[in-house]
Homo-oligomer: A and B are copies of this chain.
Amino acid sequence: MRPQFVLFGDSITQQSFGCGGWGAALADSYSRKADVLLRGYGGYNTRWALFLLHHIFPLACSKPPVAVTIFFGANDAALSGRTSERQHVPVAEYKDNLRLIARHLKECSPTTLVVLITPPPIGEEGRMEYARSVYGEKAMKVPERTNEMTGIYAKSCVEVAKEMGVPSINLWSKMQETEGWQKKFLSDGLHLTEEGNAVVYNEVVKVFNEAGLHALEMPFDFPHHSEIDGQNPEKVFRLQCS
């Protein structure tokens, strides 16, 4: 009945319905207008995401989503030879995987708005602090992700988007425009604070608006209560819901 927005990504998507989360804020802004479906998979990289693709977005779907955000890369960019090596995906393969995901979505429905979101920047000191808080003395002495390496993945993500003619959000660059981004936007050097979530929300809304998915201009699914005649309620429902 309503258009669907699907948020496909890793933990930064999975956690997006927490307090102040960007996913919940989208669901709130588009309430009565679109359904926001959460398809966030903590710890996943694009290589593993490919196994889910046909399950989450079947080709023979009678009602494909109107918009999909693809938000991977934070795990792909984990450094080879460090503690999160298992999640590492080489940047060339990351680009290929993003292409496969975007192409599949366009094959499901050429009109689906596909938005690529780059990983956020890495607060390396925040990552180290986090590791110390969890592992104490046994914590890694070198970060398992660096901001520089994640920047390479972010740049690659934007390149794939350009190449495929779909919009992208360069979160890695955008966040670093604000002084103190390391603590302001990131809770542990990787995941988002409420303010970090607000940045993602604002950027996604901007892209959605530019693509004609402006919440204020989209119709309510049923009459607004102010349009209902208390004496003759069936009238407006007959007009709008038959």
Contact = CB atoms under 8 A, between A and B. Distances in A.
Interface of A: 1, 14-15, 17-21, 23-25, 27-28, 31-32, 35, 37-38, 40-44, 47-48, 51-52, 55-56, 85-87, 222, 224-226, 228, 230, 233-234, 237, 241
B55 A86 contact: no
A225 B37 contact: no
B222 A42 contact: no
B51 A234 contact: yes
A141 B29 CA distance: 33
Contacts of A226: 43
A222 B55 contact: yes
Nearest to A11: B225
Contacts of A15: 28, 31
Contacts of A43: 224-226, 228
